[in-house]
Chains A and B, each alone.
Chain A
Amino acid sequence: MILPIGPIHPGLKEPLRLKLKTQGEKVIKAEIDYGYVHRGIEKIMEGKTWQKCIYLAERICGICSYEHTQTFSETIEKISGVQAPPRAQYLRVITNELDRIQSHLLANSTFYKTLDHETLFMQVLDLREYIMDSIELLTGNRVNMGWNVIGGVRMDAEDKHLDAILSKISYVEDNLDRHVALFEDAPILGLRTKGVGVMTREEAIKGHSVGPIARASGLKHDYRQEHHTYKDYFDFKPVWRKEGDNYARTMNRYNEITSSINLLKDAIENIPKGDIRRPVEVKSGYGEWRGEAPRGEVTYMIETNGNLIKRISIRTPSIMNIDSCAKYMLKDVATVADAVTTYASADPCIACAERVAITDISNNKFITKDFFEISKEYNNKFTTNDFFEISKDYNKKVNLSNKFNYNNDLEVN
């Protein structure tokens, strides 16, 4: 029997359709339909100045809105050959980690909601409000912060603000342990989460999953390790686990919150004085940059023409995580209720993923395909150039040649 869930469902924050193939209560296969939030952001960005594009980049996704602007700015900074001043880099780290904490807390509280554990849902959501306060104190807004500009950040933070953030962080740190213990040692929660929705390391590699989901399955990779700010100024080590089940994913997120809190304390204590913004003359060229969003790696590929964006391509983590969730985590789940919790534990962000429409130019038909179909087809049939012939046809204005190399991205080393 096929059981459809969504696009509007109490357990899902965002519109998406889960088609579960069931045998009695047991889920044996899952299929995911998306495309409900496709707005055409990349197309709108073409031919606009960065001031307009950064505003759009922020609105790709509401939960990890910060990381998108940072990666966007850093890509253009890379093209122009400059780096933000140290104080701006520190402020970026502070905002980034605050954003990561709130996103992870939200993901965990949604997971508890799907488990029907109201107490933990409310308590974790309450804890998140302190982080939202800190973000508002620093940037002036709760969700879409408008904090990054090319060459630095928009405003300076005063010492009293940083102190207030530090005290809020300490409060969260003190209370987090209690909530983690409540989840970690609870026997009934253990029964609902341990061994449910297992994704092994090999499957994580095959599915190209990234972020906390991959790290919970034993892939020890966090892009912050390779980011210049974290390399130069911080002592950062990725958090990872081996189990690969719902429990591991939730605990991995908690452990990442702890590591983010340590990074934040380090950053607030050692923040240098100086400029927060450097004037940048945007050059023409092509650049790629990656950043670690709360859900995994975000890649920006931008081609600029002077001050204007000629072509932009954004690769967000959720597109791989959703598909590996459907293919591997939901392949053998005991009940439908567990399938919904498994889906929530993968922390999908649909708004991020919705920038893909595959056009078959041979008969001018729009067809939607999942990630596995695409990667299989393009690895077998087409070369990378063909892929760009297709995307070139979609955007006739620009001639891209083969600068974007998707195949490199699809392979996991």
Chain B
Amino acid sequence: MLKTLKDIVRKSSIHVCIVNCGGCNGCDVELVACLSPRYDLEQYGIYVHNNPREADVILVTGAVTEQWRENLRRIYAKAPEPKVVVAVGNCPQSGDVFAQEGGRVLAPVSDFIPVDAAIPGCPPRPSEILDAILAVAPGAIAAKGRIQDK
């Protein structure tokens, strides 16, 4: 009974934290656009907190820079279980154009923290970001929660 109740609650109340670990800002701008009345993240029960201690979903943007090497792991550790990491944009997956000779990036993000889903695009459209969060987050949070409860 409690577990099903938890599942239902987790599906409809997702708290999001955006972590920009060295991107060009483009993805963050598109994430802000998701808040606008046209896309309206909050109608799906997603709330952007930007506080890792309250987050269910961590949205990672940007290729990892030197300063984020340790900080990223620390932020991941701060988020309470169950948590889902979604990589937004090309940078967290491959480093995009910055992963070349001379670039000081440490992509991919999956070397540092486990990534559950990735949205390619430079930057992805707000509707794609919304779609991905809704497709992955409720199920993954509920599933991870069930493993933890056992």
Which residues of A pack against B, CB within 8 Å?
7-10, 12-15, 35-41, 43-44, 46, 55-56, 59-63, 65, 106, 109-110, 122-123, 125-126, 128-129, 132, 142-144, 349-351
Contact = CB atoms under 8 A, between A and B. Distances in A.
Given A55-B97, A61-B24, A62-B24, A39 B75 contact: no
Contacts of B103: 39-41, 43-44
A315 to B, nearest CB: 17
Given A8-B17, A13-B25, A40 B125 contact: no
B76 to A, nearest CB: 12
B66 interface: yes
Contacts of A63: 25-26, 29
A123 B35 CA distance: 11
7 contacts: A36-B21, A46-B102, A55-B97, A61-B25, A110-B32, A142-B125, A350-B25
Contacts, number: 128
A139 to B, nearest CB: 14
B149 interface: no
Nearest to A46: B102
Could you say which of A8, A9, A126 has the most chain B C-beta atoms within 10 Å of its C-beta?
A8
A43 B36 CA distance: 37
Given A39-B98, A59-B96, A144-B122, A106 B25 contact: no
Interface stretch (B5-13, B44-52, B111-119, B136-144): B44-52
B123 A144 contact: yes
Contacts of A40: 98, 102-105
A130 to B, nearest CB: 9
Contact of A122 (B23, B36, B67): B36
B35 A125 contact: yes
Interface of B: 17-30, 32-33, 35-38, 49-52, 62-63, 65-68, 71, 75, 96-98, 100-105, 122-123, 125
B26 A62 contact: yes
* Shortest beta-carbon contacts, A-B, top 9: A62-B26, A62-B25, A43-B102, A125-B36, A40-B104, A351-B25, A44-B102, A10-B50, A143-B26
A229 to B, nearest CB: 26
A39 B37 contact: no
Contacts of B25: 13-14, 61-63, 349-351
Contact of B36 (A12, A15, A55, A128): A128
Contacts of A106: 29, 32
Contacts of B36: 122, 125-126, 128-129
Given A37-B20, A109-B32, A129-B33, 13 more contacts: A8-B17, A8-B18, A13-B20, A14-B20, A37-B23, A38-B67, A39-B105, A61-B25, A63-B26, A122-B35, A123-B37, A125-B36, A349-B25
Contacts of B18: 8
Nearest to A123: B37
A125 B30 CA distance: 11
Contact of B65 (A38, A62, A128): A38
A129 B34 CA distance: 10
Nearest to B28: A13
A8 B52 contact: yes
Nearest to B62: A37
A213 B51 CA distance: 29
Nearest to B104: A40
Contacts of B101: 44
Contact of A37 (B22, B29, B52): B22
A36 B125 contact: no
A10 B30 contact: no
A403 B23 CA distance: 31
A109 B20 CA distance: 19
Given A7-B71, A13-B32, A37-B65, A59 B24 contact: yes
